Amino acid sequence: MGGRTQPGTIKPDEGERHPYSVLDCHPKREAILPSVLYIQKILRRRPFLIKNLENVMRKFLQSLELFEENERKKLAIFTALTFSQKLSGLPPEMVFQPLLKDNLVAKGLVLSFITDFFKEYLVDNSLDDLISILKRGKMEDNLLDFFPSARRSAECFSEHFTKEGLLALVEYHEKKIFERVKDANLPDVEVVRILWDVLMDAVQWSGKNQQQNANAVLRQVKTWAGLLNAFCTSGKLELELMYKVQIQCYEDAKLMKLFPEIIRSLYELDVLAEDTILLWFRKGANPKGRQTFVKALEPFVNWLEEAEEEE
């Protein structure tokens, strides 16, 4: 890494950093790649030096707060390139585990670093390659650990990595949750109930701000619509989901006024069919808040019926 003897310092008596200093490069792969290739040549001739590289990288990764944002980006690119170039002997756990220091995670430094790492690594490699090194680094099932505790939810995961252009990673994460639920061998009705509970538990509430709460719930519904749709495979299961939404909206004051918006969103996202909604509206069996919710849903049901007549 040049003339640095420990994170955040430079030896005054050594003058300028040597030409292959990653921290002196531009934060671009074209500028940093020569340093990776240079280290790779050295390690092929002197493989015993891999331990030195591991120790230096571990110290740097554990001290991200001592670097400027631009320098952290360079380190992320360098780290990703070391795996892309298959730098001999560098174990993934040596990279991921040192990052999981509470103070680094809480400040969002780890999430920023790992995002740059993922983006850079996926330039030359497939998602399967990325998952492979995550598995070896014991992080495949713990990706939320990179997030600050207040943002450690499926919704935040999806929102963050979608915004960063890593939609394939978001889809993979959703698929993992799907597989876990499926592997539990629960009755389909119970799975639908659990999925809705998990979905609502992950909502980031905003106190008494009704509009923000409504936006958060609808974002969550949109995020997990694909998963809900995968399990609501019959009219019976769709109706069960409606009952689940009904009960939760009845029991939670924050959700009481959101029932029609949630149902409309589930309809627009193809989770609930028109026939299911009309069946619930006309013959729904669960009494909890039914009178209030039927009245609230009536304008939407009228719209459905008018649209059906026009067709």
Confidence of residue 151 (pLDDT cuts 50, 70, 90): confident
All domains in the chain, ordered by first residue = 12-149 (no CATH), 176-310 (1.25.40.180)
Closest Cα partner for 117 from 101, 129, 102, 103? 129
Query: Is 70 exceeded by the pLDDT of residue 209?
Result: yes
The encoded tokens of residue 153 equal 């939810």
3-state percent breakdown (helix, strand, coil) of the chain, nearest 5: 75, 0, 25
Q: In Å, how far are 197, 199, 201, 262 from 244, measured between CA atoms?
A: 9, 12, 14, 12
Confidence of residue 90 (pLDDT cuts 50, 70, 90): confident
Q: Residue 41 — φ and ψ, nearest 5°?
A: -65, -40
Instruction: Write down the pLDDT at residue 89.
Output: 66
Find all residues with CB under 8 Å of 29, minimum gap 6, and list them.
Answer: 77, 81, 120, 123
Helix residue spans in 138-234 (DSSP H)? 154-163, 167-183, 188-201, 210-223, 225-231
Q: How far apart are CA 157 and CA 80, in angstroms?
A: 21
Measured torsion, CA atoms of residues 67, 72, 78, 83, in degrees rounded to the nearest 10: 120
Confidence of residue 3 (pLDDT cuts 50, 70, 90): very low
Confidence of residue 303 (pLDDT cuts 50, 70, 90): very high
pLDDT tens-place string over residues 163-175: 899 988 988 887 7
Query: Is 70 exceeded by the pLDDT of residue 91?
Result: yes
Q: pTM of the prediction?
A: 0.65
Instruction: Write down the pLDDT at residue 5.
Output: 43
The encoded tokens of residue 247 equal 């009960």
Q: How far apart are CA 83 and CA 124, in angstroms?
A: 10
Instruction: Write down the pLDDT at residue 310.
Output: 66
The encoded tokens of residue 113 equal 């670093």
